Structure 1
């Protein structure tokens, strides 16, 4: 079998890189979002795929503000959580199973935001400490049952000491000690939610309670 000349191998590699660089992400389809245009949103406690039991309610405490600032009425998450539990739905899984028609008839929400937390908290890579939050969400219209928006956001914060191994070890140890006292995930959750809602490419469209503006989206991120 005749071998391929090294020059042609290099040309092929460059061609593949060029083709990959030309591939673009298709624009987000807002047709359903525009046709339904919810005024009020109910946010259910997130499904938690991590081992951190505090993740769902820490996340909930940071989601209302960006949605409200985007121009939507958001049902108080603590009140919704308490109401669901008082009516025999003690877990997020059971709350997510409630029929949309029942949510609309009893609570009156135009749409429900369903969130799943995929990553939450610190992990250590060699001697570097990395705090990561990853969540995905779906906004579903309560009348049609259609998913009118969906998004995913991941935010990480790392700490290390540059290229000095000793400095990296010290930095990782300090971060671990501080992490036992301070919760970095709350601030990262706020950043993740802001990025997910305000992203100009695939975030939320401006809600009905936002003053008129040139940009159809909530803002820039």
Structure 2
């Protein structure tokens, strides 16, 4: 076999391996064994510079979970309970032992959310609102990790970028930043990001819960 053919073969194998890893199925063994019916959503840890980020993400997290077939502990009740126990900081709440959370709320699993990015950024010829979040689902009785994933969304995904001159691109970027900041575009983008992260119909996402007609865990 010639050297060129060897290189080509190597590239084909590498490409095939890369595609396979991108579409690899998540191992749901622990998830299925736990079979959670109720989920406690903890206040997200905010790693962005936007103070409003955890409130927006938390507000948008419960809907896709409920639509996926799970009972979600009422957010207001959860917040009040933590407050009454002297817990108001997300990092402190995430540090509470899972068994303790189970004793207090009686939920089967807890969802731990981290906000990686949230807000509008401006960079010369582009201005996008980006939200990036990650989450993990933990069994509250055994502390077993059941699932983890991440997702992101950007306001630029649907935007028309067919501007063929630098001046037009610059003006467009400035206008987009002003409009998206003034209208809190981040909240809308966070809806898309959390929907992608927590909807059961996404690849390697959560499984359908017992309240969904698509629930198939025995």
Normalising to structure 2: TM-score of the pair? Answer: 0.87
- SS of residue in 2 equivalent to 1:206: coil
Quote the Cα distance in structure 1 between the aligned partners of 2:131 and 2:120. Answer: 9
Q: Structure 2, unaligned stretches of length 5 or more?
A: none
Question: Which runs of structure 2 are paired with 1:10-89 in the superposition (5 Å)?
Answer: 12=7, 14-23=8-17, 24-25=20-21, 26-89=24-87
Quote the Cα distance in structure 2 between the aligned partners of 1:91 and 1:10. Answer: 59
Structure with higher Rg: it is: 1
Match of 1:201 in 2: 203
> Is this contact kept in 2: 1:161–1:167, CA < 8 A?
no
Quote the Cα distance in structure 1 between the aligned partners of 2:10 and 2:52. Answer: 45
Higher relative contact order, chain-length normalized (CA < 8 Å, sep 6+): 2
Quote the Cα distance in structure 2 between the aligned partners of 1:149 and 1:112. Answer: 11
Q: Structure 1, unaligned stretches of length 5 or more?
A: 1-6
Deviation per CA, 1:57-86, whole angstroms, max 9, x where unpaired? 110010101000111000112321222122
Match of 1:151 in 2: 149
Is structure 2 residue 114 aligned with structure 1 residue 116?
A: yes
Is structure 2 residue 191 aligned with structure 1 residue 190?
A: yes
- SS of residue in 1 equivalent to 2:205: coil
Quote the Cα distance in structure 2 between the aligned partners of 1:42 and 1:82. Answer: 14
> Is this contact kept in 1: 2:115–2:134, CA < 8 A?
yes
Quote the Cα distance in structure 1 between the aligned partners of 2:85 and 2:164. Answer: 55
Match of 1:104 in 2: 102
- SS of residue in 2 equivalent to 1:62: helix
Give the root-mean-square deviation of aligned CA atoms.
2.1
Higher helix share goes to which structure? 2
> Is this contact kept in 1: 2:121–2:177, CA < 8 A?
no
> Is this contact kept in 2: 1:161–1:169, CA < 8 A?
no
Number of aligned positions between the proteins: 208
- SS of residue in 2 equivalent to 1:35: helix
Match of 1:3 in 2: none
1:89 Cα deviation (Å)?
0.7
Quote the Cα distance in structure 2 between the aligned partners of 1:101 and 1:143. Answer: 5
Quote the Cα distance in structure 1 between the aligned partners of 2:162 and 2:204. Answer: 35
1:141 Cα deviation (Å)?
0.2
Distance 1:126 1:16, change over 3 A: farther
1:17 Cα deviation (Å)?
3.8
1:10 Cα deviation (Å)?
9.6
Deviation per CA, 1:156-208, whole angstroms, max 9, x where unpaired? 22255533211111111111221231111111111111112234421111101
Quote the Cα distance in structure 2 between the aligned partners of 1:16 and 1:120. Answer: 40
